[in-house]
Each structure stands twice: as structure tokens, then as C-alpha cells.
Amino acid sequence: METAPTYTGAEGVPYASASTAQHFGGNNIKGLLLLQDTQLIETLAHFSRERIPERVVHAAGVGAWGEFEVTHDISELTDAKFLNGVGKKSKVLLRVSTVGPERGGADTIRDVRGWGMKIFTEEGNQDFVFNSIPVFFVRDPIKFPSLNRSHKRHPATNQGDPTMFWDFHNNNQEGIHAIMALFSDRGTPKTVRHLNAYSGHTYKITKGDGTFHYIKAHIKTNQGVQSLTNDEATELAGEAPGIHGADLYESIAKGDFPSWTVYFQVMTPSQAENYRWNIFDMTKIWPHSDFPLIPVAKLTLNKNPGNYFAEIEQAAFSPSNMVPGIAPSADPMLQARMFAYNDAARYRLGVNYQHLPCNRAVSRVYCPFQRDGFMTFTDNYGGDPSYVGSDLKPIKYVGKNGAHGYKVGGHEEWIGSVVGFKSEVVDDDFVQARGFWDVLGKQEGQQEHFVYNVACHLKGAIPQVQEKALGMFSNVYPVIAEKIKIMITTENLEKAPLN
């Protein structure tokens, strides 16, 4: 039997009891409390400080540990060591989250799911911060805070607000493709085990010889995609708000390890030159018929966190964490997220968040020019020079290969162009949304579910905003707007919560 641990205070001093405050002159609760009762003061003071700032988006999440195993050789495309060698395994930390709700928000609400994945490689951490839908609502990062506020709480009523939600999207219609995906049944996944994740962004994979390819990543569930209907999701949000977390935890605990297949779509720079779609536009996919999915790896979740706060709440993911062989593209959303995510972690966890056990690289870290700051709990590089260019302790530099340009031929006008241009909505923004409606049409009931899902939400908006939203769906196909309009006027249509 395990020996019972001896209770101590946080400084290691043993106390005879953890459940009695010190009283003056009496037993039980007769006497006054004493300021000298450090244990009581520490207990209360620490309790008031238990919470850290929650993530402003993606606050509610579930997570687990696992492994990333290479199944197909793509070494001719990238030098990334974690992708080289069939059978190679790397440790992974995955966190899947809703976007809008605060911590504790219901798991089943209609929302995009975030997919934060840290792969601990021999060359440092490779983070992939993906989404459960393949496209995004905006392509200009300056709109990101506005988008998220419109999906959250109204500043006056402090409630989710369909008028505000649709007002934003009516006036930023480049997001129509993402709206279509959100209001399909995939917007309410059955569990975390039954959803796919997509990079959305275009990345580059690179070789030391200066060659590179563009990729989009797809992580497809081996459990099969399964979704809830709008009504099931609404009911479960009340009855079992933590159902996704419980499902993942219990599956792993009983050895039923969920897995996913990781694929890349791969495009050469010359293919990108004249491609039909701008590959830096996060509101567009690359059709499978143009760029088929190439299998790369298998992801398996096989270990629950021992402590949620330490390992999942304190986990910090950033698209800027890229190993040699993976590189950013000129996608403006990716470029902006590469700043914003680290910045959020600095605010939420402090400047040394990379030292926390859940975030710490398994490869050797030697970064003596970034030191000190709150909560330094490494050796802080001892007496090593804290400035660059010292002869006293030579440092070897191997570095990432950075010699890959940002040119994309026919779409060069995007680079360096003004913010307003990227936000301009053109008919091309509706073409893939039409394709998505056609995809839904091939599966029984999916178009009807889409219409119902939108109607349930749009019904809550004021008439003027409803009209404009119907106009937006008309731009996809007039029949969609007609069907939604009829459905909205159906008596007893449930109003479904979003976020």
C-alpha cells in the first residue's frame, strides 16, 4: 500500500491539521482568529487567486496526450525530421475547444472547434492550430476581434445575440463559405472523436536546397464523422454540458484510443502561379479533384491528462511554432495569428510560459538571450553571456532554412496590397459555397437540416437583419433563401442557442 503523504504547507512545513483555523483563547469557534495563522491566510489567499485569465476565444476545451506516427515517406518534400522515416513517432498534446463560450460553456453548441496540437519533435515544438471546418469567416486579420465579438455576448444585454451575429456576417460576406459549413450538421459534432480538423491556412514545406511546396493539411477522423442534429445538440447542451470532455476521457481510460489520419494536399509553386483560387485566401479550399489528399501520418490519443489545469488549461499553442522544414505562407491570417497566439499566452500565463512542463520542448532548448521575467524556474542559463556576440562561450548556430520567397505569380497583387482590397467581396466568394450546397445535396436530409439549422438561429434576429441575411443566401442560390424564409415562418420553430 502507498505510504500516506505527510501534509505540509506550501513551504514544506508540517501542520497538525489542515481543517482547523487558530483561535484565541478557546476551543472550536469560541475565540477570535489570529493573524499569525499563516496556514489560514495562505489557504484563503491562494483560493482567491486560483483562476488565471481564460482564453478570450477557445476558453472551453478538452485535451489528451498521444502520438504522431509517420505512415508515408514525404522526405522528398520536406526536411522536417518528425516527418522523416516511416514508423517514426513523436509525442503529442492535443486540445480541442469551442470558440465562443467561456470556460464551462456547453460542449455541444453550434460552433467551430479549435484543434491545438503540439508535436514534441527532436527539433523543437511543431504546433498546428487548426479548425474543424476547412475555411474561415474572414481573410483579413483586422476583422478577427470583430468576428469573435459578434459571436459572443451583446455588450448591453450580455447575451448571445442573433441580430449581432447576422449583422456582422451580412456585412462581411466573404465568410459565406464558412457560414455554410458552420450551419451544416458538422457545426454540432457528436463528440471530439468524430470530427475532422483542417489547416485552413496554406503552409509551405521546405527543403534545405531552397525548394518548397505549398500544402493544406487535413486530419480526418478514423472513427468516421458523426454529428448531432440541431435539436439533439440543444438538448445535450442542457442535459450534459460536459459530454465531449467526458466522452474523450472515458474512451481513453478504457483503452479505446481515438485516431485520425493526417493528409496533405500538395501544390508546386508553379501550380500556384495560375491557380483558379488565391491560395492565401482562407475562405477558400483547394478542391480534392485538383489536389488529392496524400496520406502522411496517423495521430492517436492514448493518455488522459493527470491534471486538467496543469496540462490542458496551461497548454499554449501557436501557429508560429514551426520546425525546420515547415514554413509560413503569405496568408495574412496566418501571419497575424503567428503574433497573436504567443501574445495571448504571454498575457494569460506569463512571459515564461514555454517553461511549463506541458509546453516545454523535449529537444534541448538553449535560448540565453531570452531570460529572467516572472516565474523563471529553470537555471536561467546560469552565468552564460546574456548578450549576443560573446567569445566567452561560443554557440553553434544551425538555424531554419529561410531562403524561400513569397512570390505567387498571378496573385502577386495580393502581396503588399491594402487591407480594404482583401475585404472586398466578389462573386467568386460564393462559388465554393455553391459547391458546398451541392455536396450537402448528395446526402439525404443534409440540405433540409442546413435550412432548419439556419432558420432556428436567424429567427432570433430583427426583421431588417433577417432580410439581409436572406439576401446573402440568395447570392449562393435563391432557393436556399426561399427555403429558409419559409422555415422561419413555421410555427413553433425552436430557437437554438449558438455559443
d(CA 220, CA 207): 26
Of positions 186, 193, 204, 298, contacts ligand NDP by CB under 6 A: 186
**204 lies in the site for ligand NDP, by CB under 6 A:** no
Q: Which is nearer to ligand NDP, 115 or 341 (CB)?
A: 115
Of positions 184, 230, 314, 466, contacts ligand NDP by CB under 6 A: 184
Residue with nearest beta carbon to ligand NDP: 436
Binding residues for ligand NDP, rule CB under 6 A, total: 20
Stretch that binds ligand NDP, among 161-169, 286-294, 381-389, 464-472 (CB under 6 A): 286-294
Stretch that binds ligand NDP, among 280-288, 296-304, 407-415, 454-462 (CB under 6 A): 280-288
CB of 52 to ligand NDP, least distance (A): 35
Catalytic residue among 46, 72, 125, 131: 131
CB of 208 to ligand NDP, least distance (A): 29
**113 lies in the site for ligand NDP, by CB under 6 A:** no
**Which class for 377: exposed (0-12), middle (13-18), buried (19 or more C-beta within 10 A)?**
exposed
CA atoms within 13 A on the CB side of 160: 18
- Distances from the Cα of 155 to the Cαs of 141, 164, 231, in angstroms? 22, 10, 28
Catalytic residue among 58, 177, 194, 213: 58
Interface with ligand NDP in residues 347-376 (CB under 6 A): none
**193 lies in the site for ligand NDP, by CB under 6 A:** no
Residues for the chain: how many in total?
Answer: 499
Is 492 an active-site residue? Answer: no
CB of 135 to ligand NDP, least distance (A): 7
**230 lies in the site for ligand NDP, by CB under 6 A:** no
Interface with ligand NDP in residues 120-179 (CB under 6 A): 134, 177
Q: Which is nearer to ligand NDP, 270 or 289 (CB)?
A: 289
d(CA 334, CA 435): 25
Is 214 annotated as a binding-site member?
no
Is 58 an active-site residue? Answer: yes
Of positions 288, 393, 407, 495, contacts ligand NDP by CB under 6 A: 288
How many Å separate Cα 488 from the centre of its chain?
Answer: 32
d(CA 355, CA 375): 9
Stretch that binds ligand NDP, among 98-106, 166-174, 282-290, 391-399 (CB under 6 A): 282-290
Interface with ligand NDP in residues 430-489 (CB under 6 A): 432, 435-436, 439-440, 443, 446
Which phi and psi (to 5°) does residue 326 adopt? Answer: -125, 135
**202 lies in the site for ligand NDP, by CB under 6 A:** no
**283 lies in the site for ligand NDP, by CB under 6 A:** no
Catalytic amino acids?
58, 131
Q: Residues annotated as binding site for heme?
A: 341
Give the footprint of ligand NDP on this chain (CB under 6 A). 134, 177, 184, 186, 196, 218, 220, 225, 285-289, 432, 435-436, 439-440, 443, 446
